[in-house]
Structure 1
Amino acid sequence: MPGGRLTQQDRQRIAAGLTDGLSYAEIARRLDRPTSTISREIARNGGPGDYRPQQAHQATAQRARRGTPAPPRTAGPPGSAMEEEIIEMAVRTGLPRLTARVHLDLLLSEDGRRTAGELTRRLKVSPASVSVAVNYLVQHGYVRRERDPQRRRDIYVVDDDAWYHSIAISTRQTLEAAQAATSAAETSGLDTPVGQRLAKGGAFLERVSLDMMKSADRWRTLLA
């Protein structure tokens, strides 16, 4: 029932949503609950990386019997609150939650390198979920893939130049959109309202993209 207490089945669906990399808002929508309810539930029961539905349900029942408040959100290992905040910011920009978790784990690793097995164990998710997240990061230039020929496995790497490559890929994609808009404008007719609107949009995207790439080239030395 919307607005009532979370059931054990609700908590299992929350755990499944976290494993699939869904945002808190999407999990809330599927359960027909406020996003704040889902956020509090996860924060008070181990956070997105350690949420366990059975333990969460038992802990909630025990707190209700004792009448004691839930532990504060900052409870847990040092840095967990900061990491959760960074992940939330990434999700708000459109990055899938699990993808954001994988990216952050790589960024915070000592040498910026992890294998798929290490990511699976550290984040407690399935190899398939890690594969989807890593493929997204590689596709968008945030991470590169190296091959370990001796052990026949991939190693995923975040290096300083990743920031530059991610901007370069994003810029190329925006330029493709600009070219598509320009072509559509010509097809519609540059003397029509639709054609003029598309032509203006294409010109804007092209200029902004070229300026961004020039800026990235100019300041790339900061990453050296």
Structure 2
Amino acid sequence: MPGGRLSQQERQRIGAGLADGLSYAEIARRLERPTSTISREVTRNGGPGGYRPHQAHQVAVERARRGTPAHLHADRPSHGTTEDEMVELAVRSGMPRMTARVHVDLLMAEDGRRTAAELVRRLKVSPASVSVAVNFLVRHGYVRRERDPQRRRDVYVVDDEAWYHSIAISARQTLESARAAMAAAETLGPDTPVGQRLLKAGTFLERVIEDMRESADRWRDLLT
């Protein structure tokens, strides 16, 4: 499977695939690239309706030449969701801001990989801040940690199945809460006002989470 940065020819094939209505997964299969590489490439270059291969390649070449941190890109495309907007969305959903910045920077990496030192340099923050952020991301399944045996350092990776794993972890935690509520309802008595309230809430959460897990399993192949 090819690695490294996308070539101009690959970007032209991505544009052709989008024009033909192909999914990210199908384009990735044809290019022998991870689906996450295609989704990141399209997202940061105008989205499915605004992707322009030549412009995207020029931006990538200039970005590589300048080595500009992701959150300071002056050549950021004017269409689609920007990285700052993605950070704000993550913060509004409850993610700490520093953690959101680290997560988005990893998402926008060409290969979805960064070392702690790279994150510190790109985001201009302390190693301790990066450590707290990546520990949160690893714990919640957004990122996985790999060990580079040659340089004896950790590498943080957003792989193709990161979203699946994060949903699975969140679902398990919510399911534990739902069943705890149902157990408390049984202890208090299902006929009492509090027991009824807890039983209804626990049952609702249990059903919703089971549906979500089944849906995640059903659509998991879109990430491969």
Task: State the TM bucket, normalised to the shorter chain.
Answer: 0.5 to 0.7
| TM-superposition CA deviations, 1:101-151 (whole Å, max 9, x none) | 101111111111000000000000000000000011001100000011221
Counterpart residue number, 2:83: 83
For these two proteins, the number of residue pairs brought into alignment is 153
Classify the secondary structure of the residue corresponding to 1:128. helix
* Counterpart-to-counterpart distance in 1, 2:74 and 2:116: 25
- Partner Cα distance (1:122, 1:76) in 2: 14
Determine the C-alpha separation between the residues in 2 that align with 1:129 and 1:86. 19
Does the residue aligned with 1:184 lie in a helix, a strand or coil?
Answer: helix
Uncovered stretches (5+) of structure 2, i.e. residues with no partner: 1-69
1:117 touches 1:127 (CA, 8 Å); kept in 2? yes
State the structure with bigger RCO (CA 8 A, min sep 6), 1 or 2. Answer: 2
Give 1:110's aligned residue: 110
Alignment-derived partner of residue 217 in structure 1: 217
How far did 1:208 drift?
A: 0.4
Match of 2:99 in 1: 99
In the TM superposition, what are the counterparts of 1:136-151 in structure 2 within 5 Å? 136-151=136-151
Deviation at 1:214, TM superposition (A): 0.2
RMSD: 1.8
Using structure 2 for the length normalisation, give the TM-score.
0.65
**Counterparts of 1:213 and 1:82, CA distance in 2:** 30
Paired residues of 1:178 and 1:202 also in contact (CA < 8 A): yes
| Contact 1:49–1:124 under 8 Å retained in 2 | no
| SS across alignment from 1:145 | strand
Deviation at 1:190, TM superposition (A): 1.0
Shift, 1:79, TM fit: 4.7
**Deviation digits for residues 30-82 of structure 1, max 9, x if unmatched?**
xxxxxxxxxxxxxxxxxx957xxxxxxxxxxxxxxxxxxxxxxxx93425982
Return the alpha-carbon distance in structure 2 between the equivalents of residues 76 and 106 of structure 1: 19
Give the match's secondary structure for 1:110.
coil
CA distance in 2, matches of 1:178, 1:204: 8
Measure the CA separation in 1 of the matches of 2:71 and 2:218. 39
Describe the SS at the equivalent of 2:219: helix
Retained in 2: the 8 A contact 1:188–1:194? yes
How high is the TM-score relative to the length of structure 1?
Answer: 0.65
Q: Gapped runs of 5+ residues in structure 1?
A: 1-47, 51-74
The residue type equivalent to 1:163 in the other structure is W
Report percent identity of matched pairs.
73
- What is the match of residue 56 of structure 2? none
Name the counterpart of 1:160.
160
Decide which structure has the larger Cα Rg and report it.
1
